[in-house]
Amino acid sequence: MRHALLAALALAATPAAAQQARDSLTIGITQYPANFHPNIEAMAAKAYILGFALRPVTAYGEDWKLACMSCDTLPSIENGQAKLEQTPDGKPGIRITWRLKEGEKWGDGTPVTAEDMRFAWEAGRAFETGFGPAETYRSAYEFIVEDARSFTVRFDKVTFDFAGLGQFQPLPARIERPIWEADKAGYRTRSAYETATTNPALYDGPYRIAAVQPGAGVTLERNAHWAGPAPAFNRINIRTVENTAAMEAQLLAGQVDMVAGELGLPLEQAAALEKRSGDRFRFFYRPGLTYEHIDLRLDNPVLADRRVRQALLLAADRAQIVARLYDGRQPVALGSVHPDDVMYDKDAPAWPYDPARAKALLEEAGWRPGPGGIRRNAAGETLSFDLMTTAGNRAREQVQQILAGQWRAVGVEARIRNEPPRVFFGETVSQRKFTGMAMFAWVSSPENVPRTIFHSDEIPTAARNWSGQNYAGFSNPEADRLIEALPLELDPARRRPLWSQLQRLIATELPSLPLWHRADAHVWPRWLDGVRPTGHQNYSSLWVTEWRVKP
């Protein structure tokens, strides 16, 4: 009896994963997509999964440079595909022509055409459809179909990143247009991407979504009509495991082959697993565009003093925190611009740990040591702030404790007051209800002009319906000038000094305290090769045709 039971259990456990042939790959991610429509809402899980199944027109590569994915040449002024012009109402504008690669087909064999792009543009222009980002569609005021594969878009704004189409992707018009025209406001929920997710005609990438287990995972199979290089696997299973301890267990049990770093284990957990698991997996840490920082409420008279802000940063030993908590695997930030960004200025003020200088600056600002070790000013006020972050985020809460301790050592009291993410982001930060410091992260893109976070027009107020992300309340005419000038400068060589000026200005004024650029921890099986994490919003799944099984 006992032997029979063991045999049955062993049979059940043969799982799965352990005995799978190498023609399939099972990937664990920590999030399940809320929807599958490529142009509605940006969401990491969706972007990762659709990276296997859809080809955007353009994307940033591993080298952080913009490249064509389904177009044949990247438009530029030099090649004539981009032309500066005036809009009908006399504003500076630009018209840009993209040409789709020959042989691009949907999964039912129908070619991807300029009409598919036109539909995506029309649906995006209708506000009630709810496509994001709204500004792109607002700016693209005219769409011209040149021929079956070429289309021109006229924009009422000139920016240096004009050649990129981002989330503006082709949609199979013959399937989606009738649904959209029947009910534009309801299109979001009635799109075939939501109601017939496994229809092959919705996908033009190397894979198509073949099965969906709501909340649990997605199965991808090869797209029979894919004309590009053949991918290595017949099937890719994406499994959603939200709890990272459970994810680690499934990895060790062989149920998932790899954990995608884009939506994977926290860095500290991955580093610990690497030490424990020996040579069983390959680990790769890729610092990315998630920028951890602390926004300071500049209306607070104490924090309005630049010397206090500088002292706070000098008294925070960020390098030690990174070394101890994150195994030294994520770079300390000088500001919001990532070291891999082509416009990064490595000579911007760095503010390395220097408690003596921090104390001197605080003295200079009129804050003298008081009873209990907390500094006071001449009016008897204590140098004390609320330090807030998202409750339940263990990594941030740890950092918060350490920072509070380091600041206390120079006479600054940081009172920890955390809130659930929904309250913190839904009201406290977005409506500027924090009084001192708010620790969270920004996610950006390569060469992203930080208009929404540093321009004085972007300070959220009730009158603006709380739009804008300049939560610190930073207002600096020189920063405004640079932020306005940057997008208009098309020549990278002339843009670089503007970027340097802006980075140095922000790193000196410190409207927010830079912490580090978060690294993604990728865990791969030893037999898998060719996965190239990018560190930005165009995930490694877009280049799945380069993934290979090692002989």
Partner 1 sequence: MRLALLRLPQIALTLALLSLAAWLAIGLMPGDPASLALMSDPRLTPEDVARLRALHGLDRPLMERYLAWAMGLLRGEFGYSRLFAQPVVAVLWPALRSTLVLVGLAVAVAAVAGVALGALAALRPRAGGFVDALALLAQAVPSFWLGILLIILFAVTLGWLPAGGLPGEGQPAWAFLVLPVATIGFGQMAAYARHSAAALGEALRQPWARSARARGASDQRVLWRHALPNAGVPLLTLLALDAGSLVSGALVTETVFARPGMGKLLYDAVMGNDYNLALLALLLVALVTMLATLAADIAQRWLDPRLEEA
Task: Provide, rounded to whole angstroms, the least separation between the CB of residue 337 and partner 1.
Answer: 17
What is the rounded CA–CA span in Å between residue 240 and residue 237?
Answer: 10
With CB under 8 A as the contact rule, which of the stretches 53-61, 185-193, 479-487, 492-500 interacts with partner 1? 185-193
Q: 361 and 401 in contact (C-beta within 8 Å)?
A: no
Q: How many residues bind partner 1 (CB under 8 A)?
A: 68
Reference 221, options 23, 427, 446, 451; nearest CA is: 23
Report the residue number, 214 or 371, with the smaller CB distance to partner 1.
214
**Could you say whether residue 254 binds partner 1 (CB under 8 A)?**
yes
Name beta bridge partners: 236.
25, 220
In three-state secondary structure terms, 99 is strand
Q: State yes or no: residue 127 binds partner 1 (CB under 8 A).
A: yes
Provide the token pair at 234: 């017949």
Could you tell me the strand order of the sheet in which 140-145 lies? 82-86, 92-99, 150-155, 140-145
- Does 304 participate in binding partner 1 (rule CB under 8 A)? no
Distance CA 360, CA 368 (A): 10
Min dist. Cβ of residue 517 to partner 1 (A): 19
Q: Determine if 463 is a binding residue for partner 1 (CB under 8 A).
A: yes
Q: Which of 157, 239, 338, 375 binds partner 1 (CB under 8 A)?
A: 239
- In the complex with partner 1, which residue's Cβ is closer, 240 or 501? 240
Query: Contact at 8 Å (CB) between 209 and 218?
Result: yes
Only segment of 153-161, 240-248, 268-276, 345-353 that touches partner 1 (CB under 8 A)? 240-248
Rounded least distance, CB 56 to partner 1, Å? 17
- Per-residue binding string, partner 1, 21-50, x by CB under 8 A, is -----------x-xx-x--xxx--------
Residues with Cβ within 8 Å of 265's Cβ and at least 6 positions away in sequence, in order, are 244, 247, 248, 259, 273, 521, 523
213 vs 508, beta carbon nearer partner 1: 213
Nearer of residues 112 and 218 to partner 1, judged by Cβ: 218
Q: Which one of 84, 148, 224, 253 is in contact with partner 1 (CB under 8 A)?
A: 253
Residue type, 99: R
Q: How far is the CB of 42 from partner 1 (least distance, A)?
A: 6
- Tell me if 527 contacts partner 1 by CB under 8 A: no
For the residues of 359-408, what is the DSSP string, one character each? Answer: HHHHHHTT-EE-GGG-EE-TT--B-EEEEE-BTT-HHHHHHHHHHHHHHH
Find the binder of partner 1 among 261, 335, 468, 473 (CB under 8 A).
468
Among 63, 72, 85, 128, which residue interacts with partner 1 (rule: CB under 8 A)?
A: 128
CA atoms within 13 A on the CB side of 516: 24
Nearest partner of 66 among 493, 446, 541, 534, judged by Cα: 446
Minimum gap (Å) between residue 244 Cβ and partner 1: 10
CB of 421 to partner 1, least distance (A): 8
Residue 50 token pair: 């659709």
Of 130 and 511, nearer to partner 1 (C-beta) is 130
User: Residue 423 interacts with partner 1 (CB under 8 A)?
Assistant: yes
Give the SS3 label for residue 336: coil
**194 binds partner 1, rule: CB under 8 A:** yes
SS (H, E, C) 25-47: EEEEECCCCCCCCCCCCCCHHHH
Told to check if 484 binds partner 1 by CB under 8 A, we report no
Q: Is 420 in the site for partner 1 (CB under 8 A)?
A: yes
- Counted residue by residue, the chain has a size of 551
| CA gyration radius, the chain | 25
Window contacting partner 1 (CB under 8 A); options: 142-150, 208-216, 258-266, 268-276: 208-216
| Window of 4-12, 175-183, 287-295, 377-385 that interacts with partner 1 by CB under 8 A | 4-12
Residue 392 touches partner 1, criterion: CB under 8 A: no
DSSP state of 108: T
Q: Check residue 452 for interaction with partner 1 (CB under 8 A).
A: yes
User: Exposure pattern of 109-140 as b/e (b: 16+ CB <10 Å)?
Assistant: ebbbbbbbbbbbbbbbbeeebbbeeeebbebb
Checking DSSP bridges between strand 368-369 and strand 548-549, what pairing results, if any?
unpaired
Stretch that binds partner 1, among 99-107, 126-134, 360-368, 380-388 (CB under 8 A): 126-134
469 binds partner 1 (CB under 8 A): yes
Please name which of 319, 315, 320, 353 lies closest in space to residue 333, comparing C-alpha atoms.
Answer: 319
113 vs 139 by CB, closer to partner 1: 139
**What is d(CA 131, CA 185) in angstroms, rounded to the nearest whole number?**
11
- By CB atoms closer than 10 A (0-12, 13-18, 19+), residue 1 is exposed
Q: Do the bridges between strand 217-222 and strand 207-213 make them parallel or antiparallel, or are there none, so unpaired? A: antiparallel
Question: Amino acid letter at 402?
Answer: I
The reply on whether position 245 binds partner 1 by CB under 8 A is yes
Q: Would you tell me which residues interact with partner 1 (CB under 8 A)?
A: 6, 9-10, 12-13, 15-16, 18, 32, 34-35, 37, 40-42, 127-128, 130, 132-135, 185, 188-189, 191, 194, 211, 213-217, 219, 237, 239-243, 245-247, 249-250, 252-255, 420-423, 425-428, 430, 452-453, 458, 463-469
